[in-house]
């Protein structure tokens, strides 16, 4: 069977499964809609968290980034894995004990102020929209290649599917759908990796295979370094970023992770605090499987790509090349008119332009794997993008219906009314997300990296100080969040989108890239929050007691209080 038929079959089966699960577990109450009724087992929640966590950026973009940037791409691996650990140990259990559905809910109550809640809602929406734009773009990419429609049509198809099960099932539908999506995406990621690892090095474990020897007795990485040198790229295994910038990007990704609203909400779906810790442990294991394989896939794909394309006659290029060329994601411009493909680091002579996001999807085709494997990867990429998009839509709809309408404008709204508002805001959110998917600011992973910067600059200090300090008051938290997010937005607009008279790389402050600037904005947020809190009155006594109680393990100290 050809690839397209296989893709229709596999995507059809997996989508039927997701929609079936959404109908089976549809939400009946707001508690079901926001936190799946709070009765999910730690193992299921670990699987769902992993699927929520591994978005199109992890599945499609990360290996692509590593395969083009080599050593420099590893900041994404370090930042995203480290951030998850930070979230599981530092924040999740305490927020779970506080018992609020959403981050704005926590901030509104801890800082006893609707203004703080409102600012947190704005930040949550900004972060979620930046993030969801990247997912929609990923969905469009997959559809455009494998169902042979153009990217924009692909985005629109994706919008309808996400909308269906997010609006119907709420968090309950999404949780069980995500368990299925994790199984699909990890299977789809590992099968081609194992195939290619055996094919290239004879080692069935891709994590070890990419450090192994190939048929002619040289090490695979040495060979790739050699190919890079010949074409004028910097060596694959050495970096070009400054240590300072690597540190800042890694830190921004780490603390940004810890402030991501759609991941935090997952810890409210389990019965008790100890389950929140257990599901964090499970999720880390499930995430590590994909994250340790990504560098191997990057190396395999990069080596295969250079070997099959560089210096070949355009007439004799393999079939995968023409398949991707029709999507416009690979372009060949014969500058010296010799009919050969010159793939070089020198931009004036290079004739080949490749979109980084296609490496994982094209990888099995380049390695001539069976058609069903190629189709499986397409189904896996869709599972990754859709599971995260659904989680984000839920955050957006909860922010609007729960934090804005119920807590601020219409406290007496009925549960039914709140559900209706939640569903309507999800519809509205999908439309905006679709717009950004069709007109994306940058390739998937870079767009997502900016969302992490925004989360680091705004939420992280407010959450950490809210849990660990009784002295921080509403004035401090509000000032910190506003300064942090505005600073990050300004830097992003100036150096990423060339507003405010744009800026070149040479003008970066302290040599920090926009992806890493969230760390600096976060430090400023901390300083502002603490300084303002110290010169304004202490928080009320009952708030100080809440903070005291969050940190006491449940069940401790009960004997003293009677």
pLDDT at 447 over 50: yes
Q: Identify the CATH number of the domain defined by range 3-447.
A: 1.20.1730.10
Q: pLDDT per residue over 375-428, tens digit each?
A: 888 888 888 877 777 778 877 887 788 778 887 788 888 888 887 888 888 888
Alpha-carbon gap, residue 474 to 462, rounded angstroms: 10
Q: pLDDT per residue over 502-527, tens digit each?
A: 667 777 888 888 888 999 999 999 99
Alpha-carbon gap, residue 56 to 168, rounded angstroms: 23
φ and ψ of 213, to 5 deg: -90, 150
The predicted pLDDT at position 270 comes to 78
> How many other CB atoms are there within 10 angstroms of residue 33's CB atom?
31
Helices (H), 25-150: 30-35, 42-53, 56, 62-69, 74-86, 92-98, 103-110, 114-146
Average pLDDT, the chain: 82
The predicted pLDDT at position 562 comes to 45
Tokens of 176: 């069980």
Residues 6+ apart with CB under 8 A from 26: 168, 169, 170, 172, 173
Q: pLDDT per residue over 333-360, tens digit each?
A: 888 888 888 888 888 888 888 888 788 8
pLDDT at 554 over 60: no
Q: Are 68 and 362 in contact (CB under 8 A)?
A: no
Residues 6+ apart with CB under 8 A from 308: 317, 318, 321, 366
Name the DSSP letter for residue 407: I
- Strands, E, within 382-481: which ranges? none
Alpha-carbon gap, residue 423 to 316, rounded angstroms: 52
Q: Are 124 and 102 in contact (CB under 8 A)?
A: yes
491: left (phi over 0), alpha (psi -120 to 50) or beta: alpha
- What is the residue extent of each domain of the chain? 3-447
């Amino acid at each position: 069977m050809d690839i397209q038929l296989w893709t229709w079959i596999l995507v059809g089966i997996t989508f039927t499964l997701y929609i079936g699960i959404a109908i089976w577990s549809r939400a009946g109450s707001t508690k079901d809609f926001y936190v799946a009724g709070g009765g999910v087992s730690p193992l299921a929640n670990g699987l769902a968290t992993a699927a929520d966590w591994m978005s199109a950026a992890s599945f499609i973009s990360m290996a692509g980034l590593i395969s083009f940037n080599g050593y420099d791409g590893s900041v994404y691996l370090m930042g995203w894995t480290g951030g998850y650990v930070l979230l599981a140990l530092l924040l999740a259990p305490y927020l779970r004990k506080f018992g609020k559905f959403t981050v704005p809910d926590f901030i509104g109550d801890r800082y006893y102020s609707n203004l703080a809640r409102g600012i947190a809602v704005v930040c949550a929406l900004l972060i979620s929209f930046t993030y969801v734009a990247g997912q929609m773009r990923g969905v469009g990419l997959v559809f455009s290649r494998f169902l042979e429609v153009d990217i924009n049509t692909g985005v629109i198809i994706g919008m309808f599917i996400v909308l269906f099960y997010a609006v119907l099932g709420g968090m309950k539908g999404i949780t069980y759908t995500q368990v299925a999506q994790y199984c699909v995406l990890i299977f789809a990621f590992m099968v081609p990796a194992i195939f290619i690892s055996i094919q290239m090095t004879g080692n069935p474990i891709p994590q070890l295979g990419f450090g192994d020897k190939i048929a002619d007795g040289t090490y695979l990485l040495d060979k790739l370094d050699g190919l890079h040198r010949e074409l004028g790229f910097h060596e694959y295994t050495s970096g070009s970023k400054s240590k300072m910038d690597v540190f800042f990007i890694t830190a921004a990704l780490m603390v940004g992770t810890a402030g991501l609203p759609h991941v935090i909400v997952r810890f409210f779906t389990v019965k008790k605090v100890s389950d929140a810790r257990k599901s964090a442990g499970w999720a880390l294991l499930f995430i590590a499987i994909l994250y340790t394989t990504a560098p191997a896939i990057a190396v395999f794909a990069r080596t295969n790509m250079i070997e099959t394309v560089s210096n070949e006659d355009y007439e004799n290029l393999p079939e995968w090349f023409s398949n991707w060329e029709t999507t416009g994601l690979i372009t060949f411009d014969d500058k010296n008119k010799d009919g050969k493909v010159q793939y070089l680091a020198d931009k004036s002579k290079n004739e080949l332009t490749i979109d980084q996001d296609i490496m994982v999807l094209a990888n099995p085709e380049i390695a001539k794997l069976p058609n069903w494997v190629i189709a499986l990867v397409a189904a896996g990429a869709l599972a990754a993008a859709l599971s995260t998009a659904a989680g984000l839509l839920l955050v957006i709809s909860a922010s609007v219906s729960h934090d804005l309408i119920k807590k601020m404008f219409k406290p007496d709204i009925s549960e039914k009314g709140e559900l209706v508002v939640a569903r309507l805001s999800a519809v509205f959110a999908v439309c905006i997300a679709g717009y950004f998917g069709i007109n994306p600011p940058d390739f998937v992973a870079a767009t997502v990296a900016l969302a992490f910067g925004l989360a680091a600059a705004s939420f992280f200090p407010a959450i950490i100080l809210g849990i660990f300090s009784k002295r921080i008051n509403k004035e401090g938290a509000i000032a910190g969040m506003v300064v942090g997010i505005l600073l990050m937005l300004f830097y992003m607009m100036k150096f990423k989108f060339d507003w405010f008279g744009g800026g070149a790389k040479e003008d970066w402050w302290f040599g920090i890239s926009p992806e890493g600037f969230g760390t600096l904005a976060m430090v400023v947020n901390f300083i502002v929050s603490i300084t303002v809190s110290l010169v304004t009155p202490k928080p009320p006594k009952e708030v100080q007691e809440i903070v005291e109680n969050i940190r006491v393990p449940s069940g401790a100290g009960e004997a003293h209080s009677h």
